[in-house]
A and B are shown apart, each in its own frame.
Chain A
Amino acid sequence: MAIVCERPKLKWWEHLYLPALAKGMRVTLGHFFKIVSGKKKVTMQYPEEKWDDHMPEHYRGAPALVTDEQDRERCVACQLCEFICPPRAITIHPEEIPSDDKWAKVEKRPQSFDIDMIRCIYCGLCEEVCPEQAIFLRKDYAITGTSRAEMVHDKSKLYEIGGKRVGLVNKWNELK
């Protein structure tokens, strides 16, 4: 069904647009004089100054892997993030945890875990889909590199960004 939008009926002086123009000029000039007189500051001297302290809680930066309280890598290489990732930025090669390892009961871990940061669109679906609470989007946003290979975050880089995350569900710590 088509929606009919009524155009507002304008008075004759409104048709001239001059009052609206003046109103706009007042706002613009107000800012202009405040900045010129040094009463207000709007630019930030990046990179000397950064936004980091003002970052909102929900900010989505670089995805990273985290370890638990006992420094166990939380990721078990279920590859659900690889599956959900819309730009296919994630590549995981799983491996079996050797039987002499402290965490052998978990059985599976990623042998390699690569996120191509050129492809990543920071959507956060990997964090949302993770059944192990192992991948989180952190606040890092300045991801740079001088080659394509450098822009691929490997497992060690991802753990470096992610660090330890405490206070989450630790289902593997139960007696197995």
Chain B
Amino acid sequence: MSEEKPDLIDVQINGEWHKFPKGTRMIEACRAVGADVPHYCYHPKLTSPGNCRMCLVEMGMPPRPRPGEDPPEPDEDGHLPIGWMPRPAIACANTIAPNMGIRTTGELTEGCRKGVMELLLANHPLDCPICDQAGECTLQEYSVEHGKSESRFRERKVKKPKNVEVGPRIRLDDERCIMCSRCIRFTDEIADDPVLGFTDRGSHTVLTVYPGRELANNYSLNTVDICPVGALTSNDFRFQMRVWFMKEVKTIDTNCGTGCNITVFSRQGKIYRITPRQNNDVNSDWMPDSHRLNFHWIDSEARLTEPLIKLGDSHKPAAWTEAIALASDKLNGIDGSEIAIIASARMTNEELFMVDRLSKHLKVGHVDTVARKGENDGYLISEDRNPNTNGVKLILGLDDPGSQIEAIKEGIDQGRIKALISLQENLIDDAGFTAETLQKLDFFVHSYPLANPTADLADVVLPGACWAEKSGTMINVTGRLQRLNEAVDAPGQTLTPWEIVRDLIQATGGGNGIYSVTDIFNQLSAEVSEFDGITWGQIGDLGVPLIETGVTIPLLEREKERIAQGIIVG
């Protein structure tokens, strides 16, 4: 978007005059004034081939005077009369023009929609009862609005391939496909993996994957999201749950520093699927498959559900009060300089703030988090695989998170560090700790969602909630403050990490007065200067820019270019 005020032009939509910037698509202008135009092939983030014909509307321009005829007179508002065209126009690929008239209702438009629906349904199978898209299918929705209850076609429906494996994660049903080509354009334009295409002609057209190739790129499941019907379905979600049963919670992805905005779909405390949620400053409309499918461990058998205390060689279940009291007794008996805290950059700002409180209260000598580095995939996955490294830097005041881990290992080996509090990090698998090192500790407290080798060695194991079970805020790689929302209840007696740390502070004789995440956020915004003046409600669903980091997200940069070139709407 350019900084100077864009040229505004007058357009009449359903009899009312509105002003829109030059170059706006007709469909977007109509949407802006609440006159939604039904569409299948159009997607703001993809090119507009205009092939579904569902968005046909009645359009008119001021009549051109014949030679010798006077030009039409504008009325008192400066609008010229509109000469309605006998043919309809597609709203998705046409831009508005000065003094244009659009009618999204009326006989012509309604007639076009009815006709298009009848042809789309001519060969569509009646398998809504088994189709995963049922309930969120635009073909179903528009069929209710613009379709007929019975088909006038007496021919048999065309048979096409069903239940085709087009990739490791995706199943294709060609009979359901309405040839909108969104998936083809996505794989070509966004994922740079053009493996899909149409073959054959007329009513025998089928969507196919290139011979010998498969739709296997790490962004392939986005095609399932944008498929307006049930032609492409996710193997992972296939027949798991009907969409109308599920509760949707807006939250963010925590698999990398980008913090893709997501919607978590759950029913009765079980997560069934995760879909990306539009945020043009973070993830556009997309998310990687690897992050989307990384949720099955949340309701696995390995979840810790109650606090455990080590007795001899084995752990026994204990009450929270018992476990916390034991931990605080032991910690109070050890000098602060001999205690180390390893927190996690997967924790929220609020949790890190409580960790900071705890470390200051116990006068802890070493505080650090575990760094996770990977490769930037050139799309959405950041090289920082921790979701809140910027939060760690701001709140714990660490310049280079992860740099002291080796020093802590050495300190334990040399006996300088006697107690370790490890919060939400599996030290043996993720931070390179060895069992020998951890066994040298006098006292070891560990909180984690899952049973793991580190927990086997801990004196006190505390079940800590995972990302889907807690609320809080995180700062992504671009410096955007985003909100995490609780989607499902934590299993058993699991507590959120901030509650665990609060209880530890309280039991070791520290102050309290904190009862909710928003309490912590308020204190945080009062104490950390970068958060100054930001309120919990202000962050909203899309987050707010907090700090400048200079990091950009490659996919978004390419999208901005395409918007600037006018290829896509954005």
Binding site for B on A (CB under 8 A): 76-80, 82-83, 94-96, 105-108, 131-132, 171, 175-176
Contacts and interface: CB of A to CB of B under 8 A. Distances in A.
Given A94-B239, A108-B130, 18 more contacts: A76-B129, A76-B130, A77-B130, A78-B242, A79-B242, A83-B242, A83-B244, A94-B240, A95-B239, A96-B238, A105-B162, A106-B130, A107-B127, A107-B162, A107-B163, A131-B129, A176-B159, A176-B162
B239 A78 contact: no
B162, B238, B242: residue with the most chain A Cβ atoms closer than 10 Å: B242
B239 A132 contact: no
A107 B176 CA distance: 14
B245 A83 contact: yes
Nearest first, the 9 closest Cβ-Cβ pairs linking A and B are A78-B129, A108-B130, A94-B239, A79-B242, A131-B129, A76-B130, A76-B129, A108-B239, A96-B239
A105 B160 CA distance: 13
Contacts of B130: 76-78, 106-108
Interface string B122-155: 0000111110001000000000000000000000
A171 B159 CA distance: 14
A171 B239 contact: no
A79 B159 CA distance: 27
17 contacts: A76-B129, A77-B239, A78-B128, A78-B129, A79-B242, A79-B245, A83-B244, A94-B239, A94-B240, A95-B239, A96-B238, A106-B130, A107-B127, A107-B239, A131-B128, A132-B129, A171-B126
Contacts of A175: 159
B302 to A, nearest CB: 22
Contacts of B242: 78-79, 83
B133 to A, nearest CB: 12
A82 B468 CA distance: 27
Contacts of B162: 105, 107, 176
Interface residues of B, number: 15
Interface string B225-262: 00000000000001110101100000000000000000
Dominant secondary structure at the B interface? loop
Interface of B: 126-130, 134, 159, 162-163, 238-240, 242, 244-245
B537 to A, nearest CB: 34
A131 B238 CA distance: 20
Given A107-B163, A175-B159, A80 B129 contact: yes
Nearest to B173: A107
A176 B244 CA distance: 28
A176 B126 CA distance: 12
A83 B127 CA distance: 18
A132 B129 CA distance: 8
A106 B130 CA distance: 8
Contacts of B238: 96
Contacts of B127: 107
Nearest to A94: B239
Nearest to B239: A94
A83 B243 CA distance: 11
B171 to A, nearest CB: 10
Nearest to A99: B163
Contacts of A106: 130
B544 to A, nearest CB: 39
A114 B41 CA distance: 41
Contacts of B163: 107
A105 B244 CA distance: 25
B238, B239, B244: residue with the most chain A Cβ atoms closer than 10 Å: B239
A130 to B, nearest CB: 9
A107 B230 CA distance: 14
A17 to B, nearest CB: 60
A95 B240 CA distance: 7
Nearest to B157: A174
Contacts of A83: 242, 244-245
Contacts of B159: 175-176
B211 to A, nearest CB: 22
B172 to A, nearest CB: 13
A124 to B, nearest CB: 19
B565 to A, nearest CB: 43
B243 to A, nearest CB: 10
A153 B222 CA distance: 40
A79 B245 CA distance: 9
A171 to B, nearest CB: 7
A12 to B, nearest CB: 66
B503 to A, nearest CB: 37
Contacts of A80: 129
B15 to A, nearest CB: 40
B214 to A, nearest CB: 18
A24 to B, nearest CB: 56
A95 B128 CA distance: 16
Contacts of B239: 77, 94-96, 107-108
Nearest to A134: B129
Contacts of B245: 79, 82-83
B251 to A, nearest CB: 26
A175 B238 CA distance: 23
Contacts of A108: 130, 239
A131 B126 CA distance: 10
Contacts of A132: 129
A20 B128 CA distance: 64
Nearest to B125: A176
A75 B163 CA distance: 19
A106 B244 CA distance: 22
B129, B240, B244, B245: residue with the most chain A Cβ atoms closer than 10 Å: B129
B124 to A, nearest CB: 14
A145 B130 CA distance: 34
Contacts of A105: 162
A2 to B, nearest CB: 42
A96 B129 CA distance: 13
Contacts of A79: 242, 245
A150 B127 CA distance: 34
